[in-house]
Amino acid sequence: MSIESASLRMLTGMAAVRVMMLLALVLPTVSTIADLSSGYRMTEINELADGSGVVAHLELTSGCETYGPNLKELRLTARYEDGGRVHIHITDPLLPRWEIPDMLIPRDRVEHIPIGQSTSPIRFTETSYTLKRESNWIASHQLKITWTKDPFSFSIIRRSNGDVLFNTLPEAEGGRYAFNPMVFKDQYLEISTRLPQNSCLYGLGESTRPSGMRLVPGQSYTLWATDIGSWNLDFPLYGSYPFLMDMRPDGQTHGVLFLNSNGMDIEYKSGDSLTFQVIGGVFDFYFFAGPSPMGVVDEYTQLVGRPAAMPYWSFGFHQARYGYKDIEELESVLAKYDAINFPVESIWADIDHMDGYRDFTLHPEHFPEKRMRSFVQGLHLKNQKLVMILDPGIKIDETYATFTRGRELGVYLRNGTGDGYYVTQVWPGATHIPDFLHPNALDWWTKEVEEFYKIVPFDGIWLDMNEPANFCSGPNCWFDPAVPCIIIDSCCMTCDNDPDKLTRWDNPPYKINGYKSKLPIYKNTVATSALHYDGTPVYNTHNVYGMAEGLATYKALEKVQKKRPFVLSRSSFVGGGAHSAHWTGDNGATWTDMKHSIASMLNSGLFGVPMVGVDLCGFYMETNEELCERWTQLGAFYPFARSHSDIHTGPQEIYLWKSVTETASKAFYWRYRLLPFFYTLMYEAHTSGAPIARPLFFEYWEDKETWEIDTQFLLGSSILVSPVLEPNQTSVRAYFPKGIWYNLFDTSDVIRAEDHGIWKHLSAPKDTINVHVRRGSIVPMQDFAMTTTLARKTPFSLLVAFAPSFHFAEFCAAGRSIVCRGIDREFATGQIYLDDDAQPTMDITEGRASLVKLEAIRTYGHYVLRSTVTQPDCAINQRLIINTVVVLGLQARPFSVHLNGRLASVQVNANDSMMELSGLNLFVREAFELIWNIMPNGNGVHSR
């Protein structure tokens, strides 16, 4: 639909003079790049046809040649969208610029929204506009967009309290600008926002931060995917997540997504502003209203993609090592685990299994095909799994079918001139790098997965080195036959990276701070001047490479295996969690690495990648017994639990130390009992984005004490994990938010934080980790077994956490509650998700998946536990039973128990911390109501 634009000229001659006088005053006193632009002015505005926002024209006021010329015209689209978000998009109106493809993050494109017809100009004031088609929905939206016309800036405001969440106006303070007006050049974009001094910011990853999860004023955060071990501090690592969570003093939280894959620095100035400096693309901002942290992640994952459903088996324990030299060693490792009765869900094959480090191959002597097929068949008979590694580098070898098939389809990245394929060096030597944005790439990759699956029916794929890594650096590298390659993981190519020979892609005018010393962005990766099939330089796509490979691998597995895929990827981007799990890469075997692992794990969940873990006991460096003992305790409660170590260090399997064996067995006994709880949290993540492992502030965002805590974490909202993170310690200082908390391993040990959160020193012997259950929770568990398949068939038990009954009675005696009058109630809730573990999603569908919601209610002396079941005909439900109910906070025996209205005969056990009903034999698929009554004694305290 075409329209007549209403041209609104904003800047008079006198106004222009005043602006230039102001600039003359302030430019010498601000940062060294303050002369990049004096900003833009808004000159024209039109309403979108659907009434959701406006399109406006921006014109440059003045600019300079630093980092290149400023674009003279820009187009702004500002929209209100569903899901509590607003969208600001600013780009070149004349020439298309790089934006993340819809194949990676499907979304509505602003250029596809027609402009409405208007016979008169939109009513337009200095800071707002009125939409002719404005609906009640927009008027009631949680967020509001306002702006200034000259210099152009925009603000995002929370309607409920007027809080300014994002404000790009470079306000003058004492004759100085706080920051530059908006800058838009071809290879340098800059925009800033003001912040209140007391903001609390999280996100902007991935990096290992000694400062913890909360962002630190005065620090710059670089987003550029790199092959750097995560034991290095404050370096950009494997993933790039331009997503920010901002918590304000009242606890209300909003999110900011800068949907741009180009390299960038984000400078958190002295606590009062945030500056985005990006080397390409467009300004594409999404703002999420929240106002809780959980609400923000819900809205964010609605846009970028809900986390992928993970198969049930992936929540078991996994064993890997770079350096298992042959199939006999894999068998030996599993046999040694069997000897200590430790549950190993899967064994992983690192690059050792390959023939000459070629993807989709087996070493003919060390991992022969026939033996591998027999090995995998034996694993599957024992309900165990095999996961195999893939690297993106494809060896250049005319006898290698994967290589030749890829060349026939043209699916490799081309060099910067476009007249040949780009060459890197990784494990196989000379390699080409697949172009996963190529229209033929998915068919080719699926074919390779399919052919390999015929040889080895593996269960999952592990993607490594997919930043993508390169042992050499630069666009002008070649192999010299006269130079032998002695050390395979060192560069054997000859590289000429004379600055005069570099293109603007490999040597951009602005240098991001990725390596802290302004090293080139092509360092140890594909040259950023390399080209995709359509001419797009890797300069634009580098940060989404791992995500694109993960998506292709997920789709290939889904087609080949015809069941729910499992993909673990080292590199990722926002939205990568929609198809891949993640581990935090090559960490170190140090206590600081173990400590930092918690913040890294929590950040991953915040970014929408909830299935995350860390190499237990460390990957690099030599571990030690005490460290490994403590780390396996902690790792038992990571969402993804895997031991993995490097060939250059000694082995570190759990069976090597008696103390580690005993401690890990104890911790993983509880992990396997909690499998239905973990799996239900996966369902919550898949449907709402909620992280499995959560920072305390996600649930207790109104408690400021939780805002800085990243040495503890929650599993869901019910379980609090408080590990020991330092050597030679037998106690730990832990924070307990407001509530009542039961020690999972000894329910007589109760922490009462009744009026507010408290810090407590907890006993933590070397073989013990502190894990507590929150009052108000119903935690589903099953019996321990040596594999997830067997554990999944065992009877359920439900752990119901009420307040201690004497505490409950004291409320009555003190007049602090109306419970005694039978009006008030105490509730506990939980749920169980069950499915066939085959469909890619976790939708509640007939015959495939069920959701059992649990609710327990206590009035004075009267207890009700009931379930409701959605889609009860899930096949896995048919024989599953709930055998036991354990009620915390109840020390008395009931004088009657009724099941579905009839007197029930059950076994009862009661002690000083709980009451247990067993022998229930309740079918999970059938809704039930269990009622029992306790006789209080004369003074209102329940009889023991």
- Catalytically active residues are 464, 467, 586
Q: Is 39 helix (H, G, I), strand (E, B) or coil?
A: coil
Distance CA 344, CA 825 (A): 44
Per 3-state DSSP, the chain is made up of helix, strand and coil in percentages (nearest 5) of 25, 30, 50
Distance CA 314, CA 613 (A): 11
Determine if residue 281 is left, alpha or beta; phi over 0 gives left, psi from -120 to 50 gives alpha, anything else beta: left
Instruction: Read off the tokens for 438.
Output: 């190529």
The answer to whether the beta carbons of residues 236 and 226 sit under 8 Å apart is yes
286: part of which helix (H) or strand (E)?
strand 283-288
Beta-bridge partners for 86:
80, 287
Q: Which residues contact 869 (CB under 8 A, 6 or more apart)?
A: 850, 851, 852, 853, 924, 925, 926, 927
For the residues of 126-194, what is the DSSP string, one character each?
A: SS-B--TT--HHHHT-SEEEEEEETTEEEEEEETTT--EEEE----EETTEESSPPPEEBSS-EEEEEE
Residue the block writes with tokens 């969690």: 577
Burial, 157: exposed, middle or buried (Cβ in 10 Å; 0-12, 13-18, 19+)? middle
- The widest CA-to-CA distance across the chain, in whole angstroms, is 96
Q: Is 424 helix (H, G, I), strand (E, B) or coil?
A: strand
Where are the alpha helices (H) located in 456-535, listed in sequence order?
A: none
Nearest to 728 by CA among 626, 624, 621: 626
Distance CA 597, CA 587 (A): 9
How does DSSP classify residue 593?
H
Distance CA 848, CA 858 (A): 34
Instruction: Read off the tokens for 441.
Output: 């790439």
Q: How many CB atoms lie within 10 A of CB 189?
A: 25
For the residues of 867-925, what is the DSSP string, one character each?
A: EEEESTT-GGGTT-EEEEEEEET--S--SEEEETTEE---EEEE-SSEEEEEEEEEETT
Which strands sit side by side in the sheet containing 914-923, from one edge to the other? 778-782, 796-801, 881-888, 914-923, 907-910
The answer to whether the beta carbons of residues 694 and 598 sit under 8 Å apart is no
Distance CA 302, CA 421 (A): 38
The secondary structure of 833-850, three-state, reads EEECCCCCCCCCCCCCEE
362: part of which helix (H) or strand (E)?
none
The answer to whether the beta carbons of residues 281 and 98 sit under 8 Å apart is yes
Nearest to 776 by CA among 719, 709, 818, 850: 719
Q: How many CB atoms lie within 10 A of CB 766?
A: 16
Distance CA 231, CA 615 (A): 11
Distance CA 10, CA 335 (A): 78
Q: How many CB atoms lie within 10 A of CB 182?
A: 25
